[in-house]
Chain A
Amino acid sequence: MGLVQLHLPALQVIVPMLVAPLVMLMARSPRAAWATATLTSWLTLTITLLLLIRVQAEGVVTYHMGGWLPPVGIEYRVDAVNILVLLVISFISAVVMPFARLSVANEVREDKHCFFYAAFLLANCGLLGITITGDAFNIFVFFEIAALASYSLIATGRERRAVMASYQYLMMGTIGTTFLLIGIGFLYIMTGTLNLVDLSVRLPEVNDTRTVRAALAFIVVGISLKLALFPLHLWLPNAYAFAPSMVTVFLSATATKVAIYVLMRFIFGVFGYELSFNELEMNLLLMPLAMLGILIPSIVAIFHTNIKRMFAYSSVAQVGYIILGISFASTLGLMASVLHLFNHAITKAALFMALGCIAYRLGGVSLVHMTGAGQRMPWTMTAFVIAGLSLIGVPLTAGFVTKWHLILAALDGGLWPIAVFLLGTSVLALLYVWRVVEVAFFRAPLRRIQVREAPLSLLLPTWFLTLACLYFGIETSLPVGLAERAAETLMGGYR
């Protein structure tokens, strides 16, 4: 095994972290900053793919930071679960970077580009770090790295409300990560270790104590703030709506997904199925919250005229679907969750990219702007419609595959009313997607100004993701296979 092969898990995080300050120095040439950031994001994708090959071959790849052995030293650990999340992050960031050049040039002041791309790389590094690390305190630190970078990314939005949205996200995000830190402190009192695997071995002895239960409560609430579980989602709609298009694409596809992954890791891996679901019956808490989280934001979305805000609310609803899958507390449900984590990332990224194209040409994404856009920008709008169908869950799209598995999991658990509920709420998604389609295709353009199709460098990434939605809707073996292995690994805790 070569030196690079050996250090892959460390390189995954360190490469974007080291390039970020370099990019920051390229104040003279925004183009060079962009090019370097793009190459770096492609490099991280390459590293992820190499890791995927190693995980397929070896099962679990562990890496000991600085050569210190696990319970004492920091361990990076890649298994069937987090390789999937790593793949989502680095895939999305690799696709979004070609899209970023024109989109960012249009929406962010030119002298700020180097800082913008540096912050993007740091956010990327933070998210990858949360996913790959096997150390509880490391998760907290990387959460803050990713969060600090995304606050500044959101604040670069053109409208002044972007800054306020970023401030609110900072408040709620910090409370979330501080709760996580309290929970980690409780776990450390009881076990004297921060390593996730070691925690899962030592926790069963002290399961009956109030401290461990308080730790579970703090960690679940803290992470729920980060992943925007229904009543704790208030930061999300504004943050997504007022951020630059490229930031919305990146964050909607990755930030909440990573938090969901951490939640899964803690309740299945660290605390274990036994404590989380048999003794404390977490599913009784998560299931109603997830269902309300699907229902209420979907209804709210229908009444919004700012399309970006509308899809931000829809993101809260989609988080609800993923949490619903977790709350079934079965391998099938978990598999559907992991699958939706993957499929929704692609679908939402494609949708927000299409909106980015529209914002580039039409200057805004409210319904008024989009009147008649179907005739002016047929390619963009077709991509939008296909991604929208995937969001609704129409057969032959990626969204259908997850809905199908969710319904199977619900029926398997004997919860047929939830299967009906899932079908019913798809209609809500149909309603809000249809509003846009109706305005864009069946009304004449308001303005006389000739609007052209979006430039190719914006269209190509959008269509790439749109075709991915179709591809993963037809050829399902790759995500389903990965999700199946991930769910089995999670159900087994860390053993």
Chain B
Amino acid sequence: MEWIGFYNYWVVVVLMMVGFYIVIAQGNLIKKIVGLNIFQTSVFIFFISLAKLDGGTAPIYVEGVSDYSNPLPHVLILTAIVVGVALTAVGLALVVRIHELYGTIEEDEIHAQDEAQ
């Protein structure tokens, strides 16, 4: 059963689809941002799991250990997490502005208001 060995990648795929589905299907602007976060996080997990080495430890020098996980993806994902946080902040700030201007954060109601203009 080789594919069970890659279960981490299956988790990534499932999370990715769940997040993507929320972004597409939800009409609530905050829920969309939550979906976007799940979608991004799945990619972070993907990067981190590809850095893992069987039997390897954390990339810190320890006496008597020869195998380490690859540190580079961890570093990259640290950057990507920062980017993700910034995106969430900007997205939520926009939602606040939308709520101030439209009085709602449901996509269909906003469209109805735009059409009515």
Interface residues of A (CB under 8 A from B): 137, 140-141, 144, 148, 151-152, 155, 160-161, 163-164, 166-167, 170-171, 174-175, 178, 181-182, 185, 188-189
Contacts and interface: CB of A to CB of B under 8 A. Distances in A.
Contact of A155 (B73, B83, B94, B114): B94
A159 to B, nearest CB: 9
Interface string B79-104: 11001001100110011011001100
Nearest to A152: B90
B40 interface: yes
Given A161-B114, A164-B110, A181-B80, A170 B98 contact: no
A185 B50 contact: yes
Pick the 5 closest A-B CB pairs, nearest first. Answer: A160-B101, A144-B83, A167-B94, A163-B97, A189-B50
Contacts of A178: 39-40, 43
Most chain B C-beta atoms within 10 Å of own C-beta, residue among A144, A166, A167, A181: A167
B47 interface: yes
9 contacts: A140-B80, A141-B83, A163-B101, A164-B102, A164-B110, A167-B29, A167-B91, A167-B94, A175-B20
Q: Interface SS of chain B: helix, strand, loop or mixed?
A: helix
Given A144-B87, A188-B50, A171 B114 contact: no
Given A151-B94, A178-B43, A182-B43, 7 more contacts: A144-B83, A144-B87, A155-B94, A164-B102, A175-B23, A181-B43, A188-B50
Contacts of B15: none
Contact of A185 (B23, B36, B43, B101): B43
Interface residues of B, number: 28
Most chain A C-beta atoms within 10 Å of own C-beta, residue among B32, B86, B87, B95: B87
A164 B98 contact: yes
Interface in B20-59: 20, 23, 29, 32, 36, 39-40, 43, 46-47, 50
A144 B73 contact: no
A170 B91 contact: yes
B14 interface: no
Contact of A174 (B36, B46, B97, B114): B36
Most chain A C-beta atoms within 10 Å of own C-beta, residue among B36, B39, B46, B94: B94
B76 interface: yes
Given A140-B80, A144-B86, A163-B94, A182 B46 contact: yes
Nearest to A72: B72
B32 A171 contact: yes
B87 A164 contact: no
Nearest to B79: A141
B94 to A, nearest CB: 5
A354 B102 CA distance: 31
Nearest to B80: A181
Given A160-B101, A164-B110, A188-B50, A137 B94 contact: no
B87 A188 contact: no
A11 B86 CA distance: 25
Contacts of A166: 94
Contact of B97 (A155, A171, A175): A155
A161 B40 CA distance: 27
A171 B83 CA distance: 14
Nearest to A193: B72
Contacts of A164: 98, 102, 110, 114
B102 A160 contact: yes
A155 to B, nearest CB: 6
A58 B94 CA distance: 46
